[in-house]
Structure 1
Amino acid sequence: MLKRLFGNTAVSKEVIIKSPVSGKYVDLTDIPDPTFSEKRMGDGFAVEPDEGKIVSPINGKIVQIFPSKHAIGIKSEEGLDILIHIGLENVSLKGIGFEVHVNEGDRIKTGDILIEFNLEEVVQDSMCAVTPVVFTEGSQVVKMMREEVSDLIAGDTEIMTIKVKS
């Protein structure tokens, strides 16, 4: 009877997204790459990094590490798929200057070190170290609420709360 009265409403879970890297908040639409700025891969945000250390923004699991080590896919405990992409147009580095600290299938906690990289090499090679954080499965997202922050501390600063379908 409740189903008839209230329809088929999906229950949602909240995921708090913390910054994966210390630096300055950048709106995704301001990134000089249409793949990200036009949200072709999904909605999200970006960070202009101050340092070369990426940490987990959530509790979850490593689902993919790109062979060039510049990007990593993770899934939150609540089921949200997240891509962290270090810099733009830097596949030509072929993983040089990147040190991955996790493996596919690893369980991770917020703040765990995922990747360390040479910030100067990334900037020199790609001219842009901005790091997009994208929620790749838009159908999972019910609502996104952004915190009004600009200076970010890796693993500490809350950037967004995402409501996801359960």
Structure 2
Amino acid sequence: MFDFLKKKSKKHLLGAPAAGKAVSIKEVNDPTFSEEILGKGVAVIPSEGKIYAPADGEIGMVFDTLHAVSMTTDYGAEVLIHVGLDTVKMNGEGFEGHVKAGDKVKKGDLLLTVDLEKVKAAGYDIITPMLICNTGDYAAVEAMAGKEVTAGDDVLSVEEK
């Protein structure tokens, strides 16, 4: 009866894109990510090479080198998942894409697979930042880091203005 008095929650939770350890974005050894130049977020040190959709939405772009994927959630957050650091230099070797631009995805859908051992053997860090590129459109973007996660566990909170 008094539903109009209830404030609708404007907070959205994004799941971990991979199983592993969720860490602060500040721990990423690349200033583009650690200084939040591309947006606020969280990072996961993956324990397995499967990258999943953190929320329902639409794939914006899958990089030709398959090291990164962008998507827009159903509520408008522009998400970038970047597998490893400088992995663009691998030219897709060890990476396999499972989605393409324009695909609609649900939280938990498989986006990419990556051979983590191949990435490490090539000398690259496997830490996987997940950013909200349109951070300025939100009142708050907060990481839930410092814990072991399975893919899909809540790691990022996005609060609408």
SS at match of 1:154: coil
Alignment TM-score, normalising by the size of structure 2:
0.89
Residue 48 (structure 1) aligned with residue 45 (structure 2): yes
Alpha carbons of 1:110 and 1:142: their partners in 2 closer, same or farther (altered >3 Å)? same
| Aligned counterpart in structure 1 of residue 100 of structure 2, from 98, 103, 118 | 103
| Aligned counterpart in structure 1 of residue 154 of structure 2, from 142, 158, 161 | 158
In the alignment, what sits opposite 1:71?
68
SS at match of 1:63: strand
In the alignment, what sits opposite 1:59?
56
- Bigger shift: 30-39 or 144-153? 144-153
- RMSD of equivalent CA atoms: 1.6
Residue 90 (structure 1) aligned with residue 90 (structure 2): no
Alpha carbons of 1:69 and 1:98: their partners in 2 closer, same or farther (altered >3 Å)? same
**Greater CA radius of gyration, 1 or 2?**
1
Gaps in structure 2 of 5+ consecutive residues: 1-7
Deviations 1:65-103 (A, max 9, x none): 111100000100000000000000111210111110011
- Bigger shift: 22-31 or 121-130? 121-130
SS at match of 2:60: strand
Alignment partners' CA distance in 1, 2:123 and 2:19: 19
How big is the shift at 1:141?
A: 1.6
8 A Cα contact 1:78 1:164, kept in partner: no
Runs ≥4 residues deviating over 3 A? 145-149
SS at match of 1:58: coil
In the alignment, what sits opposite 1:6?
none
8 A Cα contact 1:59 1:110, kept in partner: yes
8 A Cα contact 1:51 1:119, kept in partner: yes
Residue 34 (structure 1) aligned with residue 47 (structure 2): no
2:92 maps to a residue whose letter is G
8 A Cα contact 2:87 2:119, kept in partner: yes
In the alignment, what sits opposite 1:112?
109
Gaps in structure 1 of 5+ consecutive residues: 1-10
Aligned residues: 154
How big is the shift at 1:125?
A: 2.1
1:162 maps to a residue whose letter is V
